[in-house]
Amino acid sequence: MRMMMVIAAAAALAGAPMAQARPPLRDVAEINDGLFAVAVADEIRKECRSISARMLRALNYINALEKRAQELGYSKQEIKAYVKSKEEKARMRARGEAYLKANGASYADPETFCKLGKAEIAKGSRIGQLLRAK
């Protein structure tokens, strides 16, 4: 009887998937780039009065990103830690500011955010899909 239990346990372990090391979420492009698009779209809508957010679309997209991260094996706690991390927020902010600057947006001139937002909307980018011109 004991031998049967040992064989059954060995068979179960042999069939179990090996735990794989996952990269940090910041290194998972589809998640990180998705959150980047949300962050940039949010900054554009805050700075430009003639552009608003497609809030329902943005919330659905954020939920889809969370679901995808879970499908990739990340726990809700890991996802929350990534999103709430001060270090990750600072890194994302720096990336966003570089993108905005490279694309002509300046905090000194809100109209530059409007111009960028309208360009993103026109080309149908992920950022543009999260925005609506008023």
Sequence ranges of the domains in the chain? 28-133
Instruction: Reduce the secondary structure of 44-89 to three states and give it as a string.
Output: HHHHCCCEEECHHHHHHHHHHHHHHHHHCCCCHHHHHHHHHCHHHH
The predicted model gives 21-34 an average pLDDT of 95
* Beta carbons of 92 and 40 less than 8 angstroms apart: no
- Alpha carbon 56 to its chain centroid, in Å, reads 16
Amino acid letter, 49: R
* pLDDT over threshold 80, residue 34: yes
Q: In the predicted model, what is the mean pLDDT of the chain? A: 89
Residue 7 confidence (pLDDT) above 70:
no
20 pLDDT tier (thresholds 50, 70, 90): low
